């Protein structure tokens, strides 16, 4: 079989294999997760005010299941389907004891090891976050009047309930003459206001690193960049363009300055995966069809042709959208503060460290393969690009039609 025919056959086989494997894959590569938001302040000694933002439909089903409250489930789900914020808040108010019991069982504040007593303050309200309704609940915690540090514990919406996984609780606080922010999850359920700056740094760094490692769509986009870069200069420029773009929109979106609905962001992220991988397949086809590449055309290693600059522009544009995806995962959209900005930057550093690690590991391996066995290198990168492109297209279709 001629080389060109074998290459095309290999690409088709890889694409079909990925398509079969993805037949049961979720439309959102991050899986079904949720983020809870808590803002803690201390108006006076012995008093902690907690403002919680909880995903509405998840709160309804979790609280109803916790207390076996079928009426809450029916009223809450009906209000959710109707999309009426006032009706949703009324459903929660009518079953406030059930909802508050669920929340206070899984979220608490202590002082010097003594639990603070929570009391609901006011009615529920409902607002949209990333086009998703969130219930807002205010709890007043009465604590022992001591000079001790406060400790906050969160076990909201655990994996064991079976509704979501990897729930994160983003906490901002102004307590004990200290202000800051932290992220709690299944592995780290509590924090103390005595927490050092290094501990706060590590929590958001870890959160950023874990997000990239568990975000399959971002991993595949990066893989598409790597296989599509033949020289170190290309991958450095591509990665830098992607980093600059997603860092800008990540910060702006997380601070609430730029907002786009997930119904737009998620499909475009999927499309970006297919587009960047497809770009590499097109370059392979062009070189094989016209028997030329950048060196054969007389370009030096220190310059980029028009297609190279166009690729950078495409990567930068898609990087802007990926930044919105990173911000949505962290879920902070509060007003600007230096403390918040610090947390966002550390989260972004975690993303970048993992991204650079993947590049440092994968790119040299592909470079060695291309240098010593060029044909195998073309087959390998082509098959990887084809598989990634198919995966991106499948996700794009799933996210557009809402599967």
What pLDDT is stored for residue 332 in this prediction? 57
Cα 403 to Cα 279: distance, rounded to the nearest angstrom: 27
Residue 236 CA: distances (Å) to CA of 225, 239, 242, 360: 10, 5, 10, 11
Cα 173 to Cα 41: distance, rounded to the nearest angstrom: 6
The token duo for 390 is 């198919």
Contacts of 166 (CB under 8 A, 6+ apart): 31, 33, 159, 185, 186, 214
The H helix count followed by the E strand count for the chain is 12, 11
Res. 54 pLDDT band, cuts 50 70 90? very high
Cα 386 to Cα 330: distance, rounded to the nearest angstrom: 31
- The answer on pLDDT for 371 being more than 90 is no
Q: Domain map of the chain by residue range? A: 3-30+215-401, 35-198
Cα 202 to Cα 347: distance, rounded to the nearest angstrom: 9
**pLDDT averaged over every residue in the chain:** 79
Interval 379-396 mean pLDDT: 86
The model's pTM: 0.60
Taking alpha carbons only, the member of 68, 59, 185 closest to residue 125 is 59
Tell me the Ramachandran region of residue 210: left when phi exceeds 0, alpha when psi lies from -120 to 50, beta otherwise. alpha
Question: 94-151 pLDDT, tens per residue?
Answer: 999 999 999 999 999 998 888 999 999 999 999 987 668 999 999 999 988 766 788 8
């Amino acid at each position: 079989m001629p080389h060109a025919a074998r290459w095309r056959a290999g690409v088709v086989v890889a694409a079909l294999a990925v398509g079969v494997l993805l037949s049961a894959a979720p439309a959102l590569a991050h899986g079904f997760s949720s983020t809870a938001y808590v803002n803690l302040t201390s108006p006076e000694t012995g008093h902690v005010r907690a403002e919680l933002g909880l995903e509405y439909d998840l709160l309804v089903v979790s609280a109803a299941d916790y207390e076996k409250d079928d009426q809450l489930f029916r009223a809450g789900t009906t209000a959710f389907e109707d999309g009426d914020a006032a009706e949703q808040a009324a459903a929660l108010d009518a079953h406030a004891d059930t909802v508050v019991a669920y929340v206070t069982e899984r979220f608490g504040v202590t002082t010097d090891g003594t639990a603070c007593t929570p009391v609901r303050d006011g009615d529920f309200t409902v607002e949209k976050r990333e086009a998703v309704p969130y219930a807002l609940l205010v709890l007043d915690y009465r604590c022992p009047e001591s000079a001790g540090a406060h400790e906050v514990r969160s076990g909201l919406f655990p994996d064991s309930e079976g509704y979501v996984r990897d729930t994160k609780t983003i906490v901002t606080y102004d307590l004990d003459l200290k202000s800051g922010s932290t992220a709690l999850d299944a592995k780290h359920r509590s924090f103390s206001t005595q927490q050092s700056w290094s501990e706060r740094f590590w929590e958001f760094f870890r959160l950023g690193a874990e997000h990239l490692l568990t975000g399959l769509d971002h991993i595949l986009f990066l893989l598409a960049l790597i296989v599509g870069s033949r020289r170190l200069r290309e991958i450095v420029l591509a990665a830098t363009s992607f980093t600059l773009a997603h860092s800008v929109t990540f910060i702006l979106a997380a601070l609430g300055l730029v907002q786009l609905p997930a119904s737009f962001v998620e499909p475009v992220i999927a499309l970006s995966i297919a587009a960047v991988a497809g770009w590499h397949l097109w370059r392979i086809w062009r070189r094989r069809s016209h028997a030329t590449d950048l060196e054969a055309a007389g370009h030096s290693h220190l310059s980029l042709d028009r297609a190279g600059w166009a690729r950078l522009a495409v990567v930068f544009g898609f990087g802007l959208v990926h930044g919105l995806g990173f911000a949505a995962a962290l879920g902070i959209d509060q007003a600007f503060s230096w403390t918040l900005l610090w947390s966002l930057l550390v989260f972004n550093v975690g993303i970048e460290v993992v991204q650079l690690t993947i590049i440092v590991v994968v790119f040299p391996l592909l470079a060695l393969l291309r240098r010593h066995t060029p044909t195998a290198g073309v087959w390998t990168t082509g098959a990887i690009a084809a598989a990634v492109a198919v995966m991106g297209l499948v996700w794009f279709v799933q996210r557009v039609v809402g599967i």
